Structure 1
């Protein structure tokens, strides 16, 4: 056997032994890992997720009969107890009108019923339009397919002509295919601001 063959034979023995030695060193020097320390959730969050089924960042979209686009998203949705509707938190909705313009809506909580095609927004509801109106109320109920929304209680609004309060408000078209309007009802009180320019 020549010197080259002997060298190759030595390497076949030495290299595997060296690899085993390196691996043993890695295992000996590595620190122990606490598997619970790597969880990205606090203990109470883990317990809450185990108790009830929930979905993070749910998203819903639909188109009305008149071609208006509706999108609704939330921070999370939680299954309801006793077979009721699922509840969502921190909702943001947007209605993009086929005739131009937008209506944005946000609320603390709400529900969407895909079977009846209805939605309900509650808790510090804020409705903002691309025409400059901002409406605040406690609750807004809406049908999606032929979009129509209404508030069962009082609303407070600011807009291009000033501020107003009303017993309730409706959003929708008077007849199918007609433009969308906001209609204030029941004891409307308007404080006109001459410094503002009325909507044209």
Structure 2
């Protein structure tokens, strides 16, 4: 047998063995890595999420007949039933008026009644208007099909005229000018600050 034939015979054995060695190395390397995927939730989170149905980062949007845009979001929400509306955590709403101005609403919690086209903001409710008015209250009821709402309880706030408190508040955009009007009622007290009104 000449040298060429011996080389071919040797390579016929060596090449398949090399291929087997490479495959074995690949399998060994893949087994050495962690095959268990980590879940980005704690046991407490998983337990809370499996107690009932819920939606993470829900989103609702709509447009009124006047062209105002209403967007409501939350961190999480749970469905309701015929007798109780669904509730949500960290409720946020953006009311974009026809002229492009924006009113924002935020609260710790709340509920949505899609059948009744209403939303209730509860706990540290904060309303901010484009005119610099900031209103704080505990509960606010709003419509989802129009720019209107009310607070059943006391409101406090600050604005261009100064700091104020009132027994309750109503707001709407029913007038023909398209602006949102806020009506403070039941014992309104204003601490007038001329420096704020000059800004």
TM-score normalised according to structure 2 size:
0.86
Query: Is 1:40 matched with 2:40?
Result: yes
Match in the other structure for 1:76? 76
Query: Is 1:149 matched with 2:156?
Result: no
Matches within 5 A, 1:51-70: 51-70=51-70
1:100 positional shift: 3.9
Give the distance between the partners of 1:197 and 1:158, measured in 2 at CA.
11
Match in the other structure for 2:166? 166
Matches within 5 A, 1:114-193: 114-175=114-175, 178-193=178-193
Aligned residues of 2:132 and 2:160 also touching (Cα < 8 A): yes
- What secondary structure is seen at the aligned counterpart in 1 of 2:184? strand
Runs of 4+ in 1 over 4 A off after TM superposition: 1-13, 80-83
- What secondary structure is seen at the aligned counterpart in 1 of 2:99? coil
Match in the other structure for 1:87? 87
Cα 1:88/1:8, change in 2 over 3 Å:
farther
Give the distance between the partners of 1:123 and 1:133, measured in 2 at CA.
19
1:2 positional shift: 8.8
Q: Deviations over 1:87-144 (max 9, x none)?
A: 1111221111103421111101111222211111111000000100000000110112
1:16 positional shift: 3.5
Aligned residues of 2:57 and 2:73 also touching (Cα < 8 A): yes
Cα 1:62/1:32, change in 2 over 3 Å:
same
- Unpaired segments ≥5 residues, structure 1: none
Q: Deviations over 1:49-77 (max 9, x none)?
A: 12222211111111111111111111111
Cα 1:21/1:185, change in 2 over 3 Å:
same
Aligned residues of 2:98 and 2:178 also touching (Cα < 8 A): no
Give me the CA root mean square deviation: 2.7
Equivalenced residue count is 198
- What secondary structure is seen at the aligned counterpart in 2 of 1:15? helix
Matches within 5 A, 1:4-23: 11=11, 13-23=13-23
Give the distance between the partners of 2:68 and 2:95, measured in 1 at CA.
7
